[in-house]
Amino acid sequence: MIPSYSFGQLVSRLSFVLALGLGLILINTPANAQNNTLMKYERRAGYKLLFDGKTLNGWHNYGTKGVRPQWVVDDEAIHLSQGQGRDIVTDKAYENFILELDWKISTNGNSGLFYLVNEDTAKYKSIWNTAPEYQILDNEGHKDGQYENHRAGANYDLITPLPGHTKPVGEYNHTKLVVNKGKVEHWLNGTLVVSYTLWTPEWEALVAASKFKKYPGYGRSKVGRIGLQDHGDKVWFRNIKIKKL
């Protein structure tokens, strides 16, 4: 026999079921409240931390040993506290990978995330002579914001990002960068904003029309380091993790 309930009883039972379901969701949904750690599913997927939240172990200035004192660990983030810190890169090089991190930029600030960095300083005096850049920018305050392919999320000076996905200055943005057999994706706060393929005729045409045409080794490396840019402005990076593909 199917039991019968009054309207009040049905509402009460429905509320109980909804509350129970919500409770189960909250229990089983990972909440990454602790910065610079990996969730169990991330460890199972093969992610590794590139920043332990306390030290700059695993990083060094481009072309030299150690890290200049302008780069500090502050409020659970790698923080460029002032200019002259110079660009820093990972000790290890990577080929095919997914890189994720959070970043925030200071008012009127400019920075960048480099990938496939060739650290042959005899050929490349500066990191930007060799590596493509995921642009980090205060779009509204910095003068570079007037150029569409210089805005946050862009493949700097080459490809304009899908607009409207950058958070206000002072808030952390989430970046995902996918590099896999020449195919590259720039994600910003959950949205794919740039995609392209390295070493194709289309890529060569983009480089030839950019400031990088003077550097024959630009974007040529198939294996390289991850780099964080010193553009003279304060910037913060945290939750830096990578998965090899």
pLDDT tens column, 90-118: 999 999 999 999 999 999 999 999 999 99
Identify the band that residue 136 occupies on the pLDDT scale cut at 50, 70 and 90: very high
What's the DSSP call for residue 172? P
Given a cut of 60, whether residue 193 has pLDDT beyond it is yes
pLDDT higher for 233 or 6? 233
Q: How far apart are alpha carbons 52 and 40 in whole angstroms?
A: 16
Given a cut of 60, whether residue 23 has pLDDT beyond it is no
Return the ∠ at Cα 235 (arms to 140 and 245), rounded to 5°.
105
Domain 35-244 architecture: Sandwich (2.60)
Q: What is the pLDDT of residue 27?
A: 38
Domain extents in the chain: 1-30, 35-244
Closest CA to 219 of 142, 153, 155: 155
pTM assigned to the model: 0.86
Given a cut of 80, whether residue 22 has pLDDT beyond it is no
